[in-house]
Amino acid sequence: MPLPAPPSPRADVALTLVDLAADDDEVARAESVLSPAELARARRGTPAVHRRRVLLRAALRTVLAAELGTGPAEVPLTAGALGRPQLPAGTGLDAGCSAAGALGLVAVGRGCRLGVDVEPVAPWTAAVLDEGWLAPVEQQQLATLPARDRALAATRAWTRKEAVLKGRGAGVRGGLAATVTGVGHAPVTVDGWSVRDVPVPDGWVASLATAPDEETPR
């Protein structure tokens, strides 16, 4: 069930939090608006993944339907090669979604390209530095932070990178370490993408990346 939207960081992007702990009836209702391809993809997952995919996709369709003045099942939503949501150019809309645990996040923008990512704040361990996705400068920034702040900062760096890469349509293959977003919480611009925090409940971090539609950086 979509929750009330948090204050949107940009006027032209609508952000919706999705409660992924909905009951079975909700899941069944959500399934009824999905395309056969979306249903098939959802069913490939474990029960928890299935549930998440169904609820998230249905929420995305619901938001888009309101924007387009049509029914959720009728929204002309398709998936790109790497799973990125795609809409016909004529709609002027772009969409993104992300989920972490019981929290889903759906973003719909008009006249821009966008990417979103939400993650639970993962416990900090030194192993994170060894995973190869943080740029050296980001590793240094993390090292200067008090230990208690690193979990949040590292997770935020992740969501920022992933938001940009998802916006580009490349996903995490697009070069995580090369996308240097820093570990701070102030809005930044990375390769033409504006990146900022999305307010989410404690325990999660979310980021939104947007770029003007006419000159989408690739």
Of the pair 76, 101, the CB lying nearest another protein is at 101
Three-state SS at 140: helix
**Closer residue to another protein (CB): 32 or 125:** 125
Q: Which three-class secondary structure state does DSSP give residue 142?
A: helix
The residue within the footprint of another protein, chosen from 39, 65, 79, 172 (CB under 8 A), is 172
CB 103, min distance to another protein, A:
10
Burial 182-206 (b: 16+ CB within 10 A, else e): bbeeeebebeebbbbbbebeeebbb
**Which of 39, 121, 145, 188 forms a contact with another protein (CB under 8 A)?**
121
Check binding of 71 to another protein (CB under 8 A).
Answer: no
Q: Is 203 in the site for another protein (CB under 8 A)?
A: yes
Q: Does 45 bind another protein (CB under 8 A)?
A: yes
Q: How far is CA 49 from CA 39, 82, 130, 196, 212, in A?
A: 12, 18, 28, 27, 33
Nearest to 151 by CA among 180, 120, 173: 120
Which residues sit at the interface with another protein, rule CB under 8 A?
Answer: 21, 23-24, 27, 44-49, 51-52, 100-102, 119-123, 125-127, 130-133, 158, 162, 171-173, 176, 202-204
